[in-house]
């Protein structure tokens, strides 16, 4: 964390993303994404000096009064979630003030005929719109922003933030067109109806494919978007942790059984790669005549790894609930592979693998991946207890409250 943060400070301070190879920066929304995503990580890791420098930037430089389009989902989980989490961890009202300012500026996204929010909002002009190519929004995005807006209402005692996101959930629950409890990937912002032009979203029913037993520990599972594809996205590897969390909160035993098997598959997505790092997508060889169970289509850009957090996220949950040290061991192996194959030093000129590293450090590497690894290795099992905190989609912890605001 210190290594990555120092490079961000030296070459990308106040910008969205570090470009470590060219020692420069990239912008997405112009909101200091990496800095804000890292605030609660630095606080948790007790990097007080680094935190104070970042806090000073938030106080003096962070402004949302700018004519720029931002993605509602990404801005909510990264910036709004990061500010709210840091407020709760530190008690500093500066972060709540900034969060309320941003949340208010995001509200125009919900002014649609259906109350399903647009994907993009101009936080300076107070206008919102869908992408240029469609009037649809992504189901996963519009149903993953409730936590932060409800928290805004709880803290401000102003109900409008919670009301708009509750309307989304109410509509989705009422809609017909679900198959085996699954919903399509897209929903139309004008009609409020599902758009059936992509694979079904969500898991555990007809989308769950049982793989062959040649992978270790017998009968591992993988989750694919449709029955005709023998592949799994790394993003799916959040699911073991989700299942384990559900089991911890009273769901049936088979949720944990499934979590254990899916966790093994996600582990193998790292273990069977030469670098020990998983790509974004792996493909499964159901015949495995060549002895390889998992393979990568290296010519696809989506099959290149980008330091994603989902597997270490689930390892954290699995270790917290089972105390099985193998999950720590797996996480340690991943961390060593990060150091061996992705760490960029000031004197680097050649790299151990081809293609070489991508010139981009995602904000979620500091906000999620390193945070979950630290929590996985922490001996303090009550540090951000999962009975007291819930982590948002970007790994920003928020307190669990006994009831929602009226």
Per-residue pLDDT tens over the stretch 204-241: 443 443 333 333 443 447 776 655 567 888 999 999 99
CB 117 within 8 A of CB 168: yes
Report how far residue 293's alpha carbon sits from residue 286's, in angstroms, rounded to the nearest whole number: 7
What's the CA gap between 43 and 49, in Å, rounded?
Answer: 10
Both tokens assigned to 292: 């390889």
Specify binding-site residues.
393
Residues at the binding site for Ca(2+) are 393
Neighbours of 9 (CB within 10 A): 17
Q: List the chain pLDDT tens, one digit each, 406 residues.
A: 999 999 999 999 999 999 999 999 999 999 999 999 999 999 999 999 999 999 999 999 999 999 999 999 999 999 999 999 999 999 999 999 999 999 999 999 999 999 999 999 999 999 999 998 899 999 999 999 999 999 999 999 999 999 999 999 999 999 988 877 778 889 999 999 998 766 555 464 434 433 333 334 434 477 766 555 678 889 999 999 999 999 999 998 988 998 999 999 999 999 988 889 998 988 887 765 666 778 887 655 545 678 999 999 999 999 999 999 999 999 999 999 999 988 887 554 444 445 567 899 999 999 999 999 999 999 999 999 999 999 999 999 999 998 654 4
Please choose, from the candidates 272, 149, 256, 163, the residue with its C-alpha nearest in 3D space to the C-alpha of residue 216: 272
Cis before residue 355, ω within 30 degrees of 0?
A: yes
Contact 34, 24 (CB under 8 A): no
Residue at token pair 């972060």: 95
Identify whether the C-beta of residue 33 lies closer than 8 Å to the C-beta of residue 17. Answer: yes
Tell me the pLDDT tens digit for each residue of 229-281. 678 889 999 999 999 999 999 998 988 998 999 999 999 999 988 889 998 98
Structure-token match 């998983």, residue found? 278
Question: Residue 105 — left, alpha, or beta (φ > 0 → left; ψ -120 to 50 → alpha)?
Answer: alpha
Q: Taking a C-beta distance cutoff of 8 angstroms, is the pair 304, 358 a contact?
A: yes
Separation of alpha carbons 51 and 280, rounded Å: 31
**267 φ, ψ (degrees, to nearest 5):** -60, -45
User: Hey, which residues does 208 pair with through a beta bridge?
Assistant: 223
What's the rounded Cα separation, in Å, for the pair 65 and 102?
9
């Amino acid at each position: 964390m210190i290594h990555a943060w120092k490079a961000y400070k030296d070459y990308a301070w106040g910008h969205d993303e570090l470009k470590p190879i060219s020692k420069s920066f990239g912008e997405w929304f112009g909101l200091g994404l990496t800095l804000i995503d890292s605030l609660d990580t630095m606080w948790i890791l007790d990097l007080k000096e680094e935190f104070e420098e970042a806090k000073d930037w938030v106080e003096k430089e962070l402004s949302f009064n700018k004519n720029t389009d931002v993605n509602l989902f990404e801005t909510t989980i990264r910036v709004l979630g990061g500010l709210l989490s840091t407020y709760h961890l530190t008690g500093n009202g500066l972060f709540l003030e900034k969060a309320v300012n941003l949340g208010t500026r995001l509200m125009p996204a919900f002014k649609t005929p259906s109350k399903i929010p647009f994907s993009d909002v101009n936080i300076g002009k107070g206008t919102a719109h869908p992408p240029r190519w469609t009037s649809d929004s992504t189901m996963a995005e519009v149903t993953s922003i409730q936590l932060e807006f409800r928290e805004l209402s709880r803290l401000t005692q102003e109900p409008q933030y919670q009301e708009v996101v509750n309307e989304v959930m109410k509509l989705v629950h009422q809609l017909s067109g679900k198959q085996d409890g699954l919903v399509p990937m897209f929903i139309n912002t004008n009609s409020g109806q599902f758009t059936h032009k992509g694979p079904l979203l969500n898991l555990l029913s007809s989308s769950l494919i049982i793989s062959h037993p040649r992978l270790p520990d017998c009968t591992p599972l993988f989750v694919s978007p449709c029955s005709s594809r023998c592949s799994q996205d790394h993003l799916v590897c959040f699911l073991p942790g989700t299942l384990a969390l559900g089991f911890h909160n009273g769901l049936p035993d088979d949720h944990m059984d499934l979590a254990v098997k899916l966790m093994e598959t996600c582990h193998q997505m790292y273990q069977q790669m030469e670098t020990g790092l998983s790509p974004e997508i792996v493909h499964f060889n159901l015949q495995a005549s060549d002895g390889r169970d998992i393979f990568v289509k290296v010519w696809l850009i989506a099959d290149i790894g980008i330091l994603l957090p989902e597997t270490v996220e689930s390892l954290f949950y699995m270790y917290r609930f089972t105390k099985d040290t193998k999950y720590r061991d797996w996480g340690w192996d991943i961390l060593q592979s990060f150091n061996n194959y992705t760490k960029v030093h000031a004197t680097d000129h050649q790299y151990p693998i081809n293609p070489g590293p991508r010139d981009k450090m995602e904000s979620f590497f500091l906000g999620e991946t390193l945070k979950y690894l630290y929590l996985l290795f922490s001996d303090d099992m009550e540090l951000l207890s999962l009975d007291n905190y819930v982590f948002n989609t970007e790994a920003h912890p928020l307190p669990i409250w006994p009831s929602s605001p009226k």
